[in-house]
A and B are shown apart, each in its own frame.
Chain A
Amino acid sequence: MKQPIYLDNNATTPLDPRVLEAMLPYFTEKFGNAASRNHAFGWVAEEGVDYAREQVAKLIGCTEKEIIFTSGATEADNLAIKGVFEMYKEKGNHIITAVTEHKAVLDTCKHLEKNGARVTYLGVKEDGLIDLAELEAAMTPETILVSIMYGNNEIGVIQPVKEIAAIAHKHGALFMTDATQAVGKIPVDVNTDGIDLMAFSAHKMYGPKGVGVLYVRRKNPRVKVTAQMDGGGHERGMRSGTLNVPGIVGLGKACELCRLEMESESIRLSALRDKLESTLNQMEESYVNGNTQHRLPHVANISFKYVEGEGLMMAMSDLAVSSGSACTSASLEPSYVLKSLGLSDDLAHSSIRYGLGRFTTEEEIDQAIGVTQKAVNHLRELSPLWEMFKEGIDLSKIEWAEH
Chain B
Amino acid sequence: MAYSEKVIDHYNNPRNVGTLNKDSKFVGTGLVGAPECGDVMRLQIEVGEDNVITDAKFKTFGCGSAIASSSLATEWLKGKTIDEALSIDNMDIVEELALPPVKIHCSVLAEDAIKSAINDYRVKNGLEAIVLEKSHH
Contacts and interface: CB of A to CB of B under 8 A. Distances in A.
Contacts of A395: 35
Interface string B27-54: 0000111111111111000000000000
Nearest to A315: B11
A402 B135 CA distance: 13
Contacts of B104: 329
B41 A329 contact: no
A343 B101 CA distance: 29
A381 B17 contact: yes
Contacts of B59: 382-384, 387
A384 B67 CA distance: 11
Contacts of B41: 384
B33 A403 contact: yes
Interface residues of A, number: 33
Interface stretch (A96-104, A183-191, A304-312): A304-312
Interface stretch (A45-53, A293-301, A344-352): A344-352
A314 B35 contact: no
Contact of B32 (A325, A332, A387, A403): A403
A308 B11 CA distance: 13
Size class of the contact patch on chain B: 35 or more
A328 B39 CA distance: 11
B36 A327 contact: no
Contact of A334 (B33, B38, B60): B38
Contacts of B64: 310-311, 314
Contacts of B73: none
A384 B40 contact: yes
Contacts of A383: 59-61
Contact of B103 (A308, A315, A328): A328
Contacts of A332: 37-38, 105
Nearest to A325: B38
Contacts of B38: 308-310, 325-327, 332, 334, 345-346, 349
A308 B39 contact: yes
Nearest to B104: A329
A314 B3 contact: yes
Contacts of B42: 384
A168 B33 CA distance: 46
Nearest to B106: A327
B34 A402 contact: yes
A329 B137 contact: no
B83 to A, nearest CB: 24
B66 interface: yes
A307 B61 contact: yes
Nearest to B7: A314
B127 interface: no
A382 B101 contact: no
Contact of A384 (B61, B63, B109, B136): B61
Interface string A326-343: 111110101000000000
30 contacts: A307-B61, A308-B62, A310-B38, A310-B63, A311-B62, A311-B63, A311-B64, A314-B3, A314-B11, A315-B11, A325-B63, A329-B105, A332-B37, A332-B38, A344-B36, A345-B35, A345-B37, A346-B35, A346-B38, A349-B36, A382-B59, A384-B31, A384-B40, A400-B40, A401-B32, A401-B33, A401-B34, A403-B34, A403-B112, A403-B137
Interface of B: 3, 11, 14, 17, 19, 31-42, 59-67, 101-105, 108-109, 112, 136-137
For the complex of A and B, the 6 pairs showing the least CB-CB separation, nearest first, are A400-B34, A346-B35, A345-B36, A384-B42, A328-B102, A310-B63
Given A328-B103, A332-B105, 6 more contacts: A310-B63, A327-B63, A346-B38, A349-B36, A382-B17, A387-B59
